[in-house]
C-alpha cells in the first residue's frame, strides 16, 4: 500500500512541475523589473571618455555637452535625421 501512495505522490508532483510553469507563465518570457534591468550606456564623452547614460545631456565628469542621442538606443545623431539609423525609432520633431 505504501509504495502505491509514494508512486501516486511522485506522479502528481511530476505533473505539477510540468504544468505549473505553463499555467504561471514562463519566467523566461517575463521582462526584468525596472530596478534589475541593465542600463544601456549612451556612449562616451568626446572630451574625457567617461561612459554616459542615455538620460545624461552633459558629462558629469567634465561638463561637455553629450550631443543629440536617440532616446531609444542612445546612438549619436547629427540632428537632421527623422528616424534613428541604429534602431529605426521615429525622432521628435520629425515630420
> Which residues, in sequence order, are CB contacts of 19 under 8 Å at separation 6+?
none
3-state secondary structure of 91: coil
Q: Quick check: is 19 in a domain?
A: no
Mean pLDDT for 14-35 is 65
Please give the residue range of the domain that contains residue 90: 39-95
This prediction's pTM: 0.35
* 93 pLDDT higher than 50: yes
Q: Quick check: is 82 in a domain?
A: yes
Q: Quick check: is 56 in a domain?
A: yes
Q: Quick check: is 9 in a domain?
A: no
Q: How confident is the model at residue 39 (pLDDT cuts 50, 70, 90)?
A: very low
* 36 pLDDT higher than 80: no
Q: Quick check: is 68 in a domain?
A: yes
Position 20 scores a pLDDT of 73
Mean pLDDT for 39-44 is 59
Q: Quick check: is 87 in a domain?
A: yes
If one counts the domains in the chain, the total is 1
Higher local confidence (pLDDT), 28 or 38: 28
Amino acid at each position: 500500500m505504501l509504495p502505491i501512495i509514494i508512486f501516486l505522490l511522485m506522479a502528481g508532483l511530476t505533473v505539477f512541475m510540468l504544468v505549473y510553469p505553463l499555467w504561471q507563465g514562463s519566467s523566461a518570457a517575463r521582462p526584468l523589473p525596472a530596478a534589475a534591468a541593465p542600463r544601456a550606456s549612451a556612449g562616451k564623452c568626446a572630451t574625457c571618455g567617461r561612459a554616459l547614460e542615455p538620460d545624461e545631456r552633459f558629462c558629469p565628469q567634465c561638463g561637455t555637452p553629450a550631443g543629440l542621442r536617440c532616446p531609444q538606443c542612445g546612438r549619436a545623431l547629427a540632428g537632421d535625421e527623422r528616424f534613428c539609423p541604429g534602431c529605426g525609432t521615429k525622432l521628435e520633431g520629425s515630420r
